[in-house]
């Protein structure tokens, strides 16, 4: 576990009293206090909290102490003090249980010793390695205080799919600065595309193309999911272009409202599409289920000596590193590959002619147009790229769940994905990944676990709160976003540019001479 | 290219109305190739509105704009930039949070061809093009005296440098005609003099035609081949700087009728 990387925000320097924003004001007041007072307050706070927590939950008290230790270790001079402290902390955990905390800390500390210039490569590589191996060590990890056990692999798939969507939305909102409140429309389009071509939805046609795990004479269209992922992406991108062409002429708030409208229209079509002029397109509120399974087919499977599974659902006998491989693991790794693809494309685009044009449009549309950037076309490309990844993610998640229902595609999902982008840091892909993973985890497991912890640990004189925390999900996300907006409007891991824009404002007043022309 | 009478730009009875207000009133205007033309006039005379019609930001209410012999009336700004018209803005409109180099690279947009697909694949073509764009951007930064500030964020550059960067960015679009909207606004006399020399150099070395809006008379008189004067949306005078300086209507526009009569009475005019 690494400590938050918020040590030195670029824009605000406490010594020079840049007191704009609540966070900076609090920081300025804090730094105005005498040093002894500050040390006293912080030590007292941590110790007090630890003691208080000891009565609630021992693990929480240890956790608080550990985080306090991490906080101070970060400030030690590197060699030999910091190194020694880090080794000591790891050793303590390796001797006293739970040992897995020691391993996690060791990995985290090792990361802090990577020299700055190698971090661009080592951090993502290490993150990828940890993600790939996750199914192997997930059930051996310690229980986190309050949050409970680490997310299981199925939750991991959910998280990866949502991270993928957030990264896709980041192209639209983060790079090109187009506020899209209807991203769920793309998610739905992708999901339904997969559902149409890999299920029993159209029983009057029988067409098979590489589908696995089903009777080859089964009615309906059955195309292999691999192809469908691509088809869903392309189809969704096309629908993005169709939606985008009339709407992207609008600026700012107007665009947001129109995308919001489209985000509402599509689920309604899905809900009422069981009798479009007598034709059952979407099967209405019952949704389309089941979907064909994912797999490589018997030929590819035997060609690779069983490395590629013929069918994800009817696998697996292999036991690797003491872990019985399950179909969920396969879905997890596949999602990881798709996410890698998304990140790769997103990064390549960011540093290209098109990516520069997107950022230019976000900063100043008029100047961008004067530099030869075709506004409509460039914005539409951003919209289409974002839609493409949303579509793939939707198709993949429908396959994983083997179902798609109109109820999955409501407005709150659009906002949820937007929250992920904002929380993580608009425009910065790594921030978006962190923000999306965290919120997706909270939604799927975290809130329920927290609720369970609260209900079993907090009781005042025989009174038990008996909270159903997931019920308050929207409120909790609202508070999270509110706090982020107040204290760190650029997100957890901001992009350098976005941070600057939020602190200095962008140049987007209307054309300058509309006012002066009248004089 | 088919240029009538060697004119890069020909505007014919261009008119712009905002509701009932006539901002530009049937102005005829030509820019001969290789010349430096200045457009002057009191505040609110419609100079920038006129500029915005030439560059495609506004669509003229009536009249036509021909650029390099082609009718570009009502074409979008990016299409006009692609045809070879570069511009700067009255109040600096740099991409504030991009570095100087990135700003100039955005200017290369119209001259590059990379698209979504080959950018993702980063084909040899894209690599070559990107490299060439960077080389050109560096050259332009050096040419405008910003060679050492390539990686500074535009917002952090001093005012004069921001003005230069705007010119570098406009030059990156490979213009044949460069439109400068009050390029020396906010500069001190020395900076203005330097800038005047720089514009002269642009014509000599880059074979550019320049059309600029300018308030600083020293700049206007020092470098222009021809000066046109707008007042209340109408072109009231046109000629060499010397002719325009003596034109009664021009003095009247700037100083008012009473002042002209005053001067006459004292025998100054």
Contact (CB<8Å) A372/B107: yes
Query: Do A262 and A327 have their domain in common?
Result: yes
Confidence of residue A519 (pLDDT cuts 50, 70, 90): very low
Distance, CA of A365 to CA of A360 (rounded, Å): 7
- Res A501: pLDDT: 66
**Separation in Å, CA of A20 to nearest CA in chain B:** 18
Of A349, A501, A517, the CB nearest to B18: A517
Domains within chain B, CATH numbers bracketed: 1-84+176-269 (3.40.50.300), 93-174 (3.40.50.300)
B90 contacts A504? CB cut-off 8 A: no
For residues A469 and A499, the answer to whether their CB atoms sit within 8 Å is no
Domains in chain A: how many in total? 2
The arithmetic mean of pLDDT across residues A187-210, rounded, is: 88
A88 with A227, same domain: the answer is no
Write down the pLDDT at residue A504: 57
CA distances to A136, A314, B158 from A111, rounded to whole Å, are 21, 39, 39
Specify if A102 maps to a domain.
yes
Residues A174 and A99 in one domain: no
User: Are A69 and A157 in a shared domain?
Assistant: no
Which of A100, A132, A164 finishes a domain? Answer: A132
- Alpha helix (H) ranges present in A153-200? 153-170, 184-197
pLDDT at residue A47 is higher than 90: no
pLDDT along chain B (269 residues), means of 10: 75 92 92 93 90 93 93 93 94 92 95 92 94 95 92 91 93 95 88 88 90 88 91 91 87 81 72
pLDDT, tens digit, 9 for 90 and up, residues A367-412: 999 999 999 999 999 999 999 999 999 999 999 999 999 988 988 8
**Together in a domain, A225 and A269:** yes
Q: Which of A344, A353, A363 sits opposite B95 (nearest CB)?
A: A363
Segment (H or E) for B190: helix B189-206
- Report CB contact under 8 Å: A512, B169: no
Q: CA nearest B87: which of B142, B166, B199, B185?
A: B166
A15-43 mean pLDDT? 77
Among chain B residues, CA nearest to A512: B91
Residue A3 within a domain: no
Q: Does B169 touch chain A (CB under 8 A)?
A: yes
Q: Are residues A160 and A106 in the same domain?
A: no
- In this model, does residue A1 exceed pLDDT 50? no
Say yes or no to pLDDT of A9 above 80.
no
Residue ending a domain, among A354, A376, A411, is A411
Query: Of B87, B93, B119, which has the smallest distance from its Cβ to A349's Cβ?
Result: B119
For range A230-254, the mean pLDDT: 90
Q: Which residues contact A256 (CB under 8 A, 6 or more apart)?
A: A179, A180, A181
State whether A164 and A208 are in the same domain. Answer: yes
Q: In A, which residues are within 8 Å of B18 by CB distance?
A: 514, 517-518
CA distance B4 to B113: 31
Mark whether A281 and A392 lie in a shared domain: yes
Q: Residue A360 and residue B114: Cβ atoms within 8 Å?
A: no
* In-domain check, residue A421: no
- Please check whether residue B46 is in contact with residue B23, taking contact to mean a CB–CB distance below 8 angstroms: yes
Q: Sign (positive/negative) of CA torsion B196, B201, B202, B207?
A: positive
**Does residue A453 belong to any structural domain of this protein?**
no
Query: CA A321, A323, A327, A330 torsion: positive or negative?
Result: negative
Q: Are residues A300 and A336 in the same domain?
A: yes
Q: For the segment A461-509, what is each residue's pLDDT rounded down to a tens digit?
A: 778 788 888 899 889 999 998 988 888 888 888 777 666 666 655 544 4
Largest alpha-carbon pair distance within chain A? 81
At residue B3, the pLDDT reads 62
Q: Is residue A478 part of a domain?
A: no
Same domain, A127 and A256: no
Residue range(s) defining the domain that contains residue A120:
14-132
User: How many other CB atoms are found less than 10 A from the CB of residue B256?
Assistant: 12
- Rounded to whole angstroms, the Cα distance separating A276 from B235 reads 63
- Predicted pLDDT of residue A19: 56
Please state the pTM of the whole predicted model.
Answer: 0.88
> Of A411, A439, A459, which one is at a domain's C-terminal end?
A411
pLDDT (tens digit per residue) in A99-136: 888 889 999 999 888 888 888 889 999 999 999 999 99
pLDDT for the residue numbered A238:
96
Q: Report H helices in A20-152.
A: 22-32, 35-56, 58-73, 83-95, 99-112, 119-137
**Which residue from B90, B116, B153 is facing A385, i.e. has the nearest CB?**
B116
pLDDT at A346 over 60: yes
A376: distance to nearest CA of chain B, Å? 10
A367 contacts B109? CB cut-off 8 A: no
**Cα–Cα distance between B74 and B68 in angstroms, integer?**
15
Of A352, A504, A507, which has the smallest distance from its Cβ to B93's Cβ?
A507
Provide the 8-state DSSP code for A131: H
- A429: nearest Cα among A511, A342, A489: A342
Tell me, what's the ipTM? Answer: 0.92
Nearest to A260 by CA among A158, A142, A179: A179
Q: Can you tell me the distance from the alpha carbon of B31 to that of B14, in angstroms, rounded to the nearest whole number?
A: 14
| Chain A interface residues (partner B, CB cutoff 8 A) | 344-345, 348-349, 352-357, 359-360, 363-364, 366-375, 381, 385, 496-497, 500-501, 504, 506-507, 511-514, 516-519
Position A480 in a domain? no
Q: Are residues A83 and A208 in the same domain?
A: no
Residue A114 is assigned to a structural domain of this protein: yes
Contact state of B106 with A381 under an 8 Å Cβ cutoff: no
A189 with A53, same domain: the answer is no
Residue A404 placed within a domain: yes
DSSP helix/strand/coil, A277:
coil
Contact, A174 vs A427, CB < 8 A?
A: yes
| Run of H or E including A350 | helix A327-350
Q: In sequence order, which residues have a C-beta less than 8 Å from that of residue A446 and are 6 or more positions away?
A: A147, A151
Rounded to the nearest angstrom, the minimum Cα separation between B133 and chain A is 10
């Amino acid at each position: 576990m690494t400590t938050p990387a918020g040590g030195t925000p670029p824009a605000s320097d406490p010594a020079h009293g840049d007191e704009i924003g609540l966070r900076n004001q609090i920081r300025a007041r804090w730094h105005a206090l005498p040093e002894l007072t500050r040390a006293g307050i912080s030590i007292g706070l941590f110790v007090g909290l630890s003691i208080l927590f000891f009565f609630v939950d021992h693990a929480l008290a240890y956790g608080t102490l550990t985080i306090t230790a991490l906080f101070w270790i970060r400030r030690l001079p590197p060699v030999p003090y910091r190194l020694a402290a880090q080794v000591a902390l790891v050793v303590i955990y390796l001797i006293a249980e739970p040992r897995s905390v020691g391993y996690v800390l060791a990995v985290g500390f090792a990361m802090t010793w990577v020299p700055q210039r190698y971090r661009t490569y080592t951090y993502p590589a290490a993150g990828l390695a940890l993600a790939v191996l996750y199914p192997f060590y997930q059930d051996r990890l310690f229980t986190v205080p309050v949050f409970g056990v680490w997310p299981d692999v199925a939750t991991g798939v959910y998280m990866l799919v949502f991270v993928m969507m957030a990264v896709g939305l980041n192209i639209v909102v983060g790079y090109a600065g187009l506020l899209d409140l209807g991203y769920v429309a793309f998610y739905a389009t992708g999901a339904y595309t997969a559902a149409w071509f890999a299920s029993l939805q159209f029983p009057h046609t029988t067409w098979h193309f590489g589908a696995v795990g089903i009777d080859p004479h089964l009615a309906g269209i059955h195309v292999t999911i691999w192809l469908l992922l691509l088809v869903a992406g392309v189809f969704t991108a096309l629908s993005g272009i169709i939606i985008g062409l009339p709407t992207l002429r609008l600026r700012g708030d107007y665009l947001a409202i129109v995308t919001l409208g489209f985000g509402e229209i599509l689920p309604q079509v899905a809900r009422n599409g069981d009798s479009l002029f007598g034709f059952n397109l979407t099967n209405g509120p019952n949704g389309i289920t089941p979907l064909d399974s994912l797999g490589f087919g018997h030929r590819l499977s035997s060609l690779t000596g069983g490395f590629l599974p013929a069918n994800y659902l009817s696998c697996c006998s292999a036991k690797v590193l003491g872990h019985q491989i399950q179909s969920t693991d396969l879905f997890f790794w596949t999602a990881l590959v798709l996410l890698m693809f998304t990140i790769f494309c997103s990064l390549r685009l960011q540093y290209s002619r098109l990516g520069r044009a997107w950022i230019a449009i976000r900063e100043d549309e008029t100047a961008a147009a004067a530099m030869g950037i075709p506004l409509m076309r460039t914005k539409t490309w951003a919209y289409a790229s974002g839609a493409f990844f949303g579509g793939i993610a939707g198709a993949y998640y429908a396959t994983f769940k083997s179902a798609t229902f109109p109820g999955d595609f409501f407005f709150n999902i659009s906002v949820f994905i937007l929250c992920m982008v904002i929380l993580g840091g608009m425009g910065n892909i790594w921030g978006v990944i962190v923000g999306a993973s965290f919120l997706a985890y909270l939604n799927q497991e975290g809130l329920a676990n927290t609720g369970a912890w609260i209900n079993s640990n907090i009781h005042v004189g025989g009174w038990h709160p008996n909270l159903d925390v997931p019920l308050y999900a929207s409120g909790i996300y609202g508070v999270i976003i509110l706090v982020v907006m107040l204290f760190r409007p650029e997100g957890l891991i901001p992009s350098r540019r976005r941070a600057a824009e939020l602190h200095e404002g962008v140049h987007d007043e209307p054309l300058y001479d509309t006012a002066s022309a009248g004089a | 290219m088919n240029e009538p009478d060697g004119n890069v730009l020909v505007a014919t009875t261009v008119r712009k109305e905002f509701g009932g207000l006539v901002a530009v009133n049937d102005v005829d205007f030509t820019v001969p190739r290789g010349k430096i033309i200045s457009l002057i006039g009191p505040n609110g005379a419609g100079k920038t509105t006129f500029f915005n019609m030439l560059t495609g930001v506004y669509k003229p209410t009536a009249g036509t704009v021909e650029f390099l012999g082609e009718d570009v009336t009502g074409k979008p700004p990016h299409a006009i930039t692609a045809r070879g018209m570069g511009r700067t803005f009255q109040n600096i409109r740099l991409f504030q949070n991009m570095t100087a180099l990135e700003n100039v690279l955005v200017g290369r947009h119209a001259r590059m061809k990379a698209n979504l697909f080959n950018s993702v694949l980063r084909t040899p073509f894209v690599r070559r093009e990107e490299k060439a764009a960077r080389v050109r951007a560096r050259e332009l930064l050096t040419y405008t005296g910003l060679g050492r500030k390539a990686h500074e964020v535009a917002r952090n550059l001093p005012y004069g440098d921001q003005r230069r960067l705007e010119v570098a960015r406009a030059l990156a679009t490979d213009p044949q005609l460069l439109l400068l909207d009050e390029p020396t606004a906010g500069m001190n006399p020395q900076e203005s003099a330097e800038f005047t020399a720089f514009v002269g150099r642009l014509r000599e070395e880059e074979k550019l035609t320049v059309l600029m809006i300018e308030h600083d008379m020293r700049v206007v008189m020092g470098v222009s081949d021809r000066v046109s004067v707008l007042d209340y949306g109408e072109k009231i005078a046109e000629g060499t700087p010397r002719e325009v300086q003596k034109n009664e209507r021009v003095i009247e526009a700037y100083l008012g009728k009473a002042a002209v009569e005053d001067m006459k009475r004292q025998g100054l005019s």
